[in-house]
Structure 1
Amino acid sequence: MKITRQLFLFLVFLWTTKAFSHLTPIPTEHFLLHETLDHLGNYHVFWKFNKTHITFEVHVKTRGYVGFGISPNGKMYPSDVVVGWVKDGVPHLSDMHTVGHFQPVNDTSQDWTLLHGQENNFGTVLKFERPLTTCDNNDTDIVDATMRIIFSYHPDDPTDDNLMPWHGATRRGAKSMMLLSTSKQYKLPNDSQTKDLVHHQFNVPTKRTTYQCRVYSLDDITTKHHVIKFEAVIQKDHEPFVHHMNIYKCHNYPRKYIGTNFECYTGSLDMMPCGNVVAGWAVGSGPFNFPPNVGLPLGENENEYAYIIEIHYNNPGAVT
Structure 2
Amino acid sequence: MEIRANSVLIPPQTTTYYCSIIELPSELKQTKHHAIKYEAVITPGNEQFVHHFEVFHCQTPTKPFAGDCSTAKPTEAKSCSKVLAAWSMGANPVVFPPQAGMPLGGPGFIPFLMVEIHYNNPALLSGYTDSSGLRITFTKNLRPFDAGIMELGLIYSDANSVPPMQKAWPLTGYCPSECTEKAK
Matched, 1:241 2:46: no
Q: 2:71 pairs with 249, 266, 279, which one?
A: 266
The offset of 1:316, in angstroms, is 0.8
Deviation at 1:279, TM superposition (A): 0.1
Corresponding residue for 1:298?
104
Query: Structure 1 vs Structure 2: percent identity of aligned residues?
Result: 36
1:228 equivalent to 2:43? Answer no
Q: Residue 211 of structure 1 contacts residue 264 of structure 1 at CA under 8 Å; is this kept in 2? A: yes
1:219/1:303 CA distance change after superposition, 3 Å: farther
Secondary structure of 2:34's partner?
Answer: strand
Counterpart residue number, 1:253: 61
Q: Paired residue for 1:205?
A: 11
CA distance in 1, matches of 2:16, 2:7: 16
8 A contact 2:59–2:81 mirrored in 1: no
Are 2:24 and 2:112, in contact at CA under 8 Å, matched by a contact in 1?
A: yes
Q: Which has the larger radius of gyration?
A: 1
Name which structure has the greater RCO, CA cutoff 8 Å, separation 6+. Answer: 2
Paired residue type of 1:215? I
**Which segments of 5 or more consecutive residues in structure 1 lack a partner in the other structure?**
1-194
Cα distance between partner residues in 2 of 1:275 and 1:301: 20
Paired residue for 1:133?
none
Specify every segment of 5 or more residues in structure 2 that has no aligned partner in the other structure, as ranges: 127-184
For 1:1-320, list aligned pairs within 5 A: 195-220=1-26, 221=28, 222-254=30-62, 257-258=63-64, 260-267=65-72, 268-320=74-126
**Residues 270 and 224 from structure 1, CA distance in 2 versus in 1: closer, same or farther, beyond 3 angstroms?**
closer
Tell me how far 1:303 sits from its aligned partner.
4.2
How many Å separate the matches in 1 of 2:9 and 2:119? 11
Once the two structures are superposed, what CA deviation does each residue of 1:182-217 show, in whole Å capped at 9, x if it has no partner?
Answer: xxxxxxxxxxxxx12232311001110000000111
Q: Give the aligned partner of residue 25 of structure 1.
A: none
TM-score by length of 1: 0.37
Does the 8 Å contact 1:241/1:314 carry over to 2? yes
Aligned partners of 2:51 and 2:89 also within 8 Å: yes
Amino acid at match of 1:253: P
Partner-residue secondary structure (3-state), 2:79? coil
Instruction: After TM superposition, give the deviation of residue 292 of structure 1 in Å.
Output: 1.1
Please provide the CA RMSD for this pair: 1.5
**Is 2:54–2:117's contact at 8 Å kept on the other side of the alignment?**
yes
Distance apart, 1:270 and its partner CA? 2.5
Paired residue type of 2:57? K
Aligned length, in residue pairs: 123
Helix, strand or coil at the partner of 1:212: strand
With normalisation by structure 2, the TM-score equals 0.63
CA distance in 1, matches of 2:80, 2:4: 19
Whole-angstrom distance in 2 between the partners of 1:264 and 1:315? 16
